[in-house]
Structure 1
Amino acid sequence: MRAHGTVNTIFKQHPRHKPRPWIKGCAFQLPQQLPKAQRRLSHKLINWASLLDDTTEQQAKQTARMPFIHPHIALMPDAHSGKGSAVGTVIPTLGAVIPAAVGVDIGCGMVGVQTHIHHRTIEHLPLSDLREMIEETIPLSPGNYNDHLTRFDFTAPRIHALEVHAHDNQVDLTHSPKWRNQLGSLGGGNHFIELCLDETDHVWLFLHSGSRGVGNKIAQKHIKIAQQLCAQWWIDLPSRDLAYLAEGTLEFSTYLRDLTWAQKFAFENRAEMMDRFVAVFTQWSGTDDVEVERINCHHNYTVKERHAGKDVWLTRKGAVDAHEGVRAMIPGSMGTRSYVVTGLGNRAGLCSAPHGAGRRFSRTEARRRFTADDLAARMGGIEYRHGDAWVDEIPDAYKDIDQVMNDARDLVRVDHTLRQILNVKGT
């Protein structure tokens, strides 16, 4: 894609000229009548969230006013406030990318495996044993103690492929000398591993993670560079976290190379953990060749796509690809339902869909309101590690996933509804 000249030259102008980074957009017209699930909040912002707080709305409007947005921002049903721009925002840009909008967990997403195993095959087996096997095989920490790099045959080829990709694309990883140990580690926060049952009581293996510490280091490096450049050239930003890199500059191309590697790492990290999960599940259940289908999808990433007649850099910050026919996983919160979906290719929604339930309360506020006993009551019938370490992940801290999915009915078709019977959270 050839960027508009204003963006390509913006960092070459003299500071005293106080450059204004305007970019001419196309004459794309938003539809006058939108379905009930949608609401136009401004000329360049369409909202799908029926549960929307003022802070999130203002963040989305602020991002939508950036001069290179084309054709508009799509605010997903699970949207909530984030750093710089709201989580659950789909941001199409011409000739620029906002590193903080992509976020620090580059490539974070979901992977799910549908099995042919019915619940009756495993219902007599202790789920606590499986949980302990998972916790022994998949590091729940940052990965510093990952001693399984030689345990499975599938690990070494993944590391080699990532090494080759980094070498061939001149990706500098000196900031993360232990990145290999991070492959196959879960991490904390809302990352999880679950054993689920669908509406026919068939077993699904399901997990959520991203690019770990190495992705965070890459993101922080380029967020800082974008902020320094925008400050250097007197670009007036509504928020420092909306600092951007302009296409055609060395900084932009370097970020895209690093970003692509981090997204690949995140994808392979989930695949690595899922392969380990499949291995311990088959050992625990006494079954073999269980996998029917695998879905591995990002929900924090940037990719080039075509929308409203132009090639754009599309950043999905807390959203999944929902082009027509594309499969994706949308998790609920800890203790609630999750969904396997197929995209409907909604163009007004920028062919995107929500990535989960979306938070109602911050982690601090959730800990103020709820206790470990409250969490235990919400996790009735589910095998999990008890204690107060995960109180901030209680379902009450999140939006109602059923309302989110109802708001998303024009974006995706629900294929399967999953309920967990085992949950493992990161530390």
Structure 2
Amino acid sequence: MNEFPVPLPGAHTDTLMWANPEEVEPAALEQLRNISRLPWIEKLRVMPDVHLGKGATVGSVLAMRDAVSPSAVGVDIGCGMAAVQTSLMLEDLPDSLKSLRSSIEEVVPVGFNAHNGTADVLHSDEALRREATRLFSAFSTLRAPNISDRESRVHTQCGSLGSGNHFIEVCADDESQIWLMLHSGSRNIGKEIAERHIATAKTLEHNLDLPDRDLAVFLAGTAEMEAYLNDLYWAQDYARLNRATMMALVKSALRRHFPSVHFGSEVQCHHNYVAQETYGDLEVIVTRKGAIRAGRGDLGLIPGSMGTGSYVVRGLGNEQGLCSASHGAGRRMSRNAAKRAFTTDDLAEQTAGVECRKDRGVLDEIPGAYKDLRTVIEAQSTGRSPLVEVTAHLRTLLCVKG
């Protein structure tokens, strides 16, 4: 049984880890120490999927008083997961899922592709139409510099996957029930918003002496922080709408093959986002970068990599862990290192039995580039201070990548 959490050696503030410091890359540990030196930090929590990030570490949860660091959210604002259980059973599926993968790829643009105009489902689905109308109409309220010429992309990219570690999957749980799952965020607009505000933060006088300028913060009560939060909350909602739109499209693709299929309630969770929360009498701004909220009863999704499956979890409301949990398995090597270390033959071997791309274009997403998901789950679901309980394990059957 694990003994997590453990303190981070050399930290300057209240920092606890659900990971063994000896197994974390030295650069990530130093990055965490830099975060702990920020004068506005009240608590820092480190999830078991921790690894080096830009500015702030992936797998970190920061509780700050009267300040927020855009890099502690990341540039894919609102990135997260969505999943839904279907009425299908494993035995309902054909031996080959290649046709189903093609159907999904026909309706959901992947990589740098986008819709030709606005996705049809944003007109035909009343709930999605209302939310899209609200968000598209609010685009003019965004305050990031020089952002107005990105408006058309907001329309065409809504309901698109992107690339990198984003994916769409068909999975089976331990009872052979079929699930749909996907991972994506706020697409290019979230990145543009984040990068513009990070650039602004770096120019502010109170950030000039930070241990790492990439950790620049906005302070409460300032126009700069008000502008950032305005844009960030919009981007978080856009990311959620993007996932909901994609899920509607994937459902439509599945119905083409199984007309009588029906679906349960969707699970949605951000893992790059900001929330204002209270712990005891401590009111803080919490940023989760590569971490999900795991309040008591919250349902969350923790994916692995191509072919390694995912977990549906329920939060335990562990306030010691700032009601958080990991967002996935976490990388154990960089993308470039993965391309050097593995071949397409390795990729085919490690994704055996999964209907997916097996070419060099997704080699950096090979399962061997990621930490062992079962170990990551065990670190936060057992021991003296667990963060979540597992409600379902999902085995990957089909994976669409950008």
* TM-score range normalised by the length of the shorter chain: over 0.9
Of the three residues 19, 36, 47, the one matched with 1:76 is: 47
Query: Residue 177 of structure 2 corresponds to which residue in structure 1?
Result: 202
Query: Residue 18 of structure 2 corresponds to which residue in structure 1?
Result: 48
Query: Residue 246 of structure 2 corresponds to which residue in structure 1?
Result: 273
Of the three residues 207, 211, 214, the one matched with 1:241 is: 214
1:38 paired with 2:13, answer: no
SS in 1 for 2:360: coil
CA deviation string 1:198-250 (max 9, x = no partner): 010000000000000000010011000000114xx573011111111111110
CA deviation string 1:4-62 (max 9, x = no partner): xxxxxxxxxxxxxxxxxxxxxxxxxxxxxxx7121011342101013322211111111
Tell whether the 8 Å contact from 2:118 to 2:158 is kept in structure 1 after alignment.
Answer: no
Of the three residues 91, 100, 103, the one matched with 1:133 is: 103
SS in 2 for 1:55: helix
CA shift in 2, pair 1:361/1:383, >3 Å = same
Of the three residues 169, 180, 184, the one matched with 2:159 is: 184
Structure of greater Rg: 1
TM-score when normalising by structure 2: 0.92
1:325 paired with 2:300, answer: no
Q: 1:333: Cα distance to partner?
A: 1.1
Query: What is the root-mean-square deviation in Å for CA atoms of aligned residues?
Result: 1.6
Q: 1:163: Cα distance to partner?
A: 2.2
Distance in 2 separating the partners of 1:204 and 1:98: 36
Tell whether the 8 Å contact from 1:73 to 1:91 is kept in structure 2 after alignment.
Answer: yes
1:412 paired with 2:388, answer: yes
Distance in 2 separating the partners of 1:100 and 1:377: 36
Query: Residue 398 of structure 1 corresponds to which residue in structure 2?
Result: 370
Tell whether the 8 Å contact from 2:87 to 2:177 is kept in structure 1 after alignment.
Answer: yes
CA deviation string 1:286-317 (max 9, x = no partner): 323x2112101000001101124221110000
CA shift in 2, pair 1:175/1:308, >3 Å = farther
Query: Residue 135 of structure 2 corresponds to which residue in structure 1?
Result: 162
Query: Residue 328 of structure 2 corresponds to which residue in structure 1?
Result: 356
Tell whether the 8 Å contact from 1:44 to 1:65 is kept in structure 2 after alignment.
Answer: no
Of the three residues 315, 333, 337, the one matched with 1:343 is: 315
CA deviation string 1:315-338 (max 9, x = no partner): 000000000000010001111020
Tell whether the 8 Å contact from 1:299 to 1:318 is kept in structure 2 after alignment.
Answer: yes
SS in 2 for 1:283: helix
SS in 1 for 2:179: strand
CA deviation string 1:95-131 (max 9, x = no partner): 111011111000000000011211112235x411111
TM-score when normalising by structure 1: 0.87
Query: Residue 60 of structure 2 corresponds to which residue in structure 1?
Result: 89
Tell whether the 8 Å contact from 1:119 to 1:202 is kept in structure 2 after alignment.
Answer: yes
Q: Residue type matched to 1:332 in 2? A: G
Q: Residue type matched to 1:107 in 2? A: G
SS in 2 for 1:312: strand
Distance in 2 separating the partners of 1:285 and 1:87: 39
Q: Residue type matched to 1:408 in 2? A: Q
1:107 paired with 2:78, answer: yes
CA deviation string 1:169-205 (max 9, x = no partner): 5556504122110100100000000000001000000
CA shift in 2, pair 1:234/1:417, >3 Å = closer
Aligned residues: 386
Query: Residue 282 of structure 1 corresponds to which residue in structure 2?
Result: 255
Distance in 2 separating the partners of 1:337 and 1:278: 20
Tell whether the 8 Å contact from 1:298 to 1:320 is kept in structure 2 after alignment.
Answer: yes
SS in 1 for 2:204: helix
Distance in 2 separating the partners of 1:256 and 1:372: 43
SS in 2 for 1:389: helix
1:174 paired with 2:148, answer: yes
Q: Extract unaligned runs of 5+ from structure 2.
A: none
Query: Residue 421 of structure 1 corresponds to which residue in structure 2?
Result: 397
Q: Extract unaligned runs of 5+ from structure 1.
A: 1-34
Tell whether the 8 Å contact from 1:143 to 1:181 is kept in structure 2 after alignment.
Answer: no
Describe how 1:212-251 pairs up with structure 2 within 5 A. 212-230=187-205, 233=206, 235-251=208-224
Distance in 2 separating the partners of 1:59 and 1:195: 36
Distance in 2 separating the partners of 1:225 and 1:147: 32
Query: Residue 119 of structure 2 corresponds to which residue in structure 1?
Result: 149
Distance in 2 separating the partners of 1:130 and 1:179: 28
Q: 1:80: Cα distance to partner?
A: 0.2
CA deviation string 1:392-419 (max 9, x = no partner): 1111101000110010110000000001
